[in-house]
Amino acid sequence: MSDGPVITTILPTYRRPALLARAIASVRSQTYQRFRLCVLDNASGDETRNVVESARAADSRVEYYEQPRNLGAFENFRAGLQQARTPLFHFLSDDDILMPDLYEMAVGELDRHPDALFAVSRVLQVDAEGNLLNLDGCAWSPGLYRPTAGFSQLLRAGHITWTGTVFRREVLDQVGDFDAHTWAVFDLDFALRLTARSAFVVCKRAGATYLSGAREVAIENIVDSWEQMTRNVAADPSLPPALRVEAEKVLTQRLVGLVYRTGRAAARKGRSEQAMRAARLLREKYARPGAALLIEAADAACRGVVPLRSGLGLLLSGYRRIHSQQLRRRLDPAERRLFESSRV
């Protein structure tokens, strides 16, 4: 049997050298060592090159690719697909980290389930203050999911962050390239198209952490991308007609909820323009005048009484700390160590 790489780790990055060094270290610390690590630098022009060169000097499996100009986050991720030349591949964002045995766990599950085209692990979502926000994937039971049962479960239980997913290269034969028209939610669009056609396996525990809210996308861009994703599902011939109708309804409901939460958060943070854009979308596009009014009221209150905004921020921070403590009690010892190592 060849001793060459089995997994290609695709690590797009832009101007976060300290976090990048941590992400690289988490790959190099894997108990399963048959990988190649491809860092795609989106023309950072900072210490990023030095961070990667230092890692390359210690480990020849680290490869560095620098874009000639900033392509934008989506196109940098998309360029990574060209590096997926091994039997398996995995996308890792520069602000996320892996549990040491993610690759060993994923390879083991894929070996046990040869018809599964990817393996998914739970992901711990954390914030910049070090709070544990969510156990992403806890609503999924471990085991094999076949189409279209896996697609239906994704609608019910939600999308598990890609950081904990290892793909077989054959997924590209199933669904091809990322859809540029869904660029703000391209990972969810890819997962929906893939689960409509392919079997996958869910691992028993967490394999990675995801830093939530590191970068924000304009609400209009999210809406446009999400609506295109919904149209993709509604037109997917691999899904039964009734399931397409259900998916369109569920995805639209989720989008409305996302717009509302985005507007509410913007109002709380004093970002009045963004809050008002969300309110207009809810009122004019989705016929949710009540939700729009709540955002407008919150925005007016936070603008009119500045201490209120600070107070709401303190209340939210307190809630997150309490919620984080409750979630931590549900972690096993290995997951708890991963969470502690992810705090920035």
Say yes or no: 188 and 301 in one domain: no
The last residue of a domain, from among 182, 215, 248: 215
Say yes or no: 162 and 285 in one domain: no
Say yes or no: 228 and 324 in one domain: yes
Report yes or no on 97 lying in a domain: yes
Rounded CA separation 228/212 (Å) = 24
Say yes or no: 34 and 123 in one domain: yes
Side chain identity, residue 10: I
Say yes or no: 146 and 285 in one domain: no
Report yes or no on 298 lying in a domain: yes
Say yes or no: 320 and 193 in one domain: no
pLDDT per residue over 193-252, tens digit each? 999 999 999 999 899 999 887 567 889 999 999 999 999 999 999 999 999 999 999 999
Q: How confident is the model at residue 302 (pLDDT cuts 50, 70, 90)?
A: confident
| Domain hosting residue 173, numbered range | 7-215
Say yes or no: 199 and 60 in one domain: yes
Helix or strand or coil: residue 304?
helix
156-165, 179-188, 223-232, 287-296: least confident range: 156-165
Residue entry with tokens 């209009």 = 220
Say yes or no: 178 and 228 in one domain: no
The enclosing domain of 92 has a CATH number of 3.90.550.10
Residues 6+ apart with CB under 8 A from 287: none
pLDDT per residue over 50-102, tens digit each? 999 999 999 999 999 999 999 999 999 999 999 999 999 999 999 999 999 99
Tell me: pLDDT of 1 over 50.
Answer: no
Report yes or no on 343 lying in a domain: no
Q: Is the preceding omega at residue 148 within 30 degrees of 0, hence cis?
A: yes
Report yes or no on 310 lying in a domain: yes
Report yes or no on 113 lying in a domain: yes
Q: How many degrees, rounded to 5, is the angle at CA 207 between CA 205 and CA 212?
A: 110
**DSSP state letters, 32-73:** S--EEEEEEE-S--STHHHHHHHHHHH-TTEEEEE-SS---H
Mean pLDDT score across all residues of the chain: 91
pLDDT per residue over 246-289, tens digit each? 999 999 999 999 999 999 989 888 889 999 999 999 999 999 99
Rounded CA separation 162/334 (Å) = 20
Report the pLDDT value the prediction gives residue 283, as an integer from 0 to 100: 97
Report the pLDDT value the prediction gives residue 344, as an integer from 0 to 100: 56
Helix or strand or coil: residue 170?
coil
Alpha-carbon distances of 316 from 38, 97, 127, 226, rounded to whole Å: 38, 26, 13, 28
Say yes or no: 210 and 229 in one domain: no
Say yes or no: 107 and 156 in one domain: yes
Residues 6+ apart with CB under 8 A from 335: 99, 124, 205, 206
Report yes or no on 244 lying in a domain: yes
Considering its fold, how many domains does the chain have in total? 2
pLDDT per residue over 2-24, tens digit each? 689 999 999 999 999 999 999 99
Say yes or no: 123 and 169 in one domain: yes
Report yes or no on 339 lying in a domain: no
The last residue of a domain, from among 194, 215, 236: 215
* In contact, 224 and 162? CB cutoff 8 Å: no
The last residue of a domain, from among 168, 190, 215: 215
Tell me: pLDDT of 307 over 70.
Answer: no
Report the pLDDT value the prediction gives residue 314, as an integer from 0 to 100: 55
Say yes or no: 125 and 188 in one domain: yes
Report yes or no on 145 lying in a domain: yes
